[in-house]
């Protein structure tokens, strides 16, 4: 069971993840892919990372604009699992040129 993070812990972790913002019980990042297919490719790689972590983002796809939202639903808030997957999404987005 991952532990829920408090406001100070969340702020400290967000400071290390530029581009991610907090909205209540979730963190979000919106990014632009260079093309629709590049965005879908990124979504596929994020899906693989999510399966490996057994932790799954909400994903909104609008042509080249992708929004990833993370929250630990089982705990009702944000945990280290959300920030670990956010960092993985950032790494994969960089590799995809997003
Ligand atoms: N993803 C997210 N974002 N939050 C969860 O609480 C969660 C999940 N729970 N993926 C996992 C799957 C749970 O359903 C399985 C059984 O571990």
Tens digit of pLDDT for each residue in 13-25?
Answer: 999 999 999 999 9
Looking at the structure, give the CATH architecture of the domain made up of residues 7-95: 2-Layer Sandwich (3.30)
Residues in the chain: 98
Copy the structure tokens of residue 12.
Answer: 């400290």
As for ligand 1, residues whose beta carbon falls within 6 Å of it are: 54-56, 71-74
Contact between residue 43 and residue 50 where contact means Cβ atoms under 8 Å apart: no
What percent of the chain stands above pLDDT 90? Answer: 95
Q: Report yes or no: 83 and 13 within 8 Å, Cβ to Cβ.
A: yes
Q: Which atom of ligand 1 is nearest to the CA of 71?
A: 3
| pLDDT class of 76 with cuts at 50, 70, 90 | very high
Q: With residue 58 as reference, give the H or E element that holds it.
A: strand 58-62
| Extents of the domains making up the chain | 7-95
Cα separation, 41 vs 66, whole angstroms: 11
pLDDT for the residue 1: 77
The complex scores an ipTM of: 0.90
- Predicted pLDDT at 55: 98
How confident is the model at residue 80, as a pLDDT?
98
For residue 56, the ligand 1 atom closest to its alpha carbon is: 1
Contact predicate 96/17, CB 8 Å = no
């Amino acid at each position: 069971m991952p532990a829920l993070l408090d406001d100070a812990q969340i702020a400290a972790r967000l400071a290390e993840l530029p581009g991610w913002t907090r909205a209540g019980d979730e963190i979000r990042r919106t990014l632009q892919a260079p093309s629709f297919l590049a965005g879908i490719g990124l979504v596929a790689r994020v899906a693989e990372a999510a399966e490996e972590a057994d932790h799954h983002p909400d994903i909104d796809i609008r042509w080249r604009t992708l929004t990833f939202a993370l929250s630990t639903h089982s705990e009702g808030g944000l945990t280290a699992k959300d920030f670990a997957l956010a960092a993985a999404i950032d790494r994969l987005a960089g590799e995809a040129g997003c």
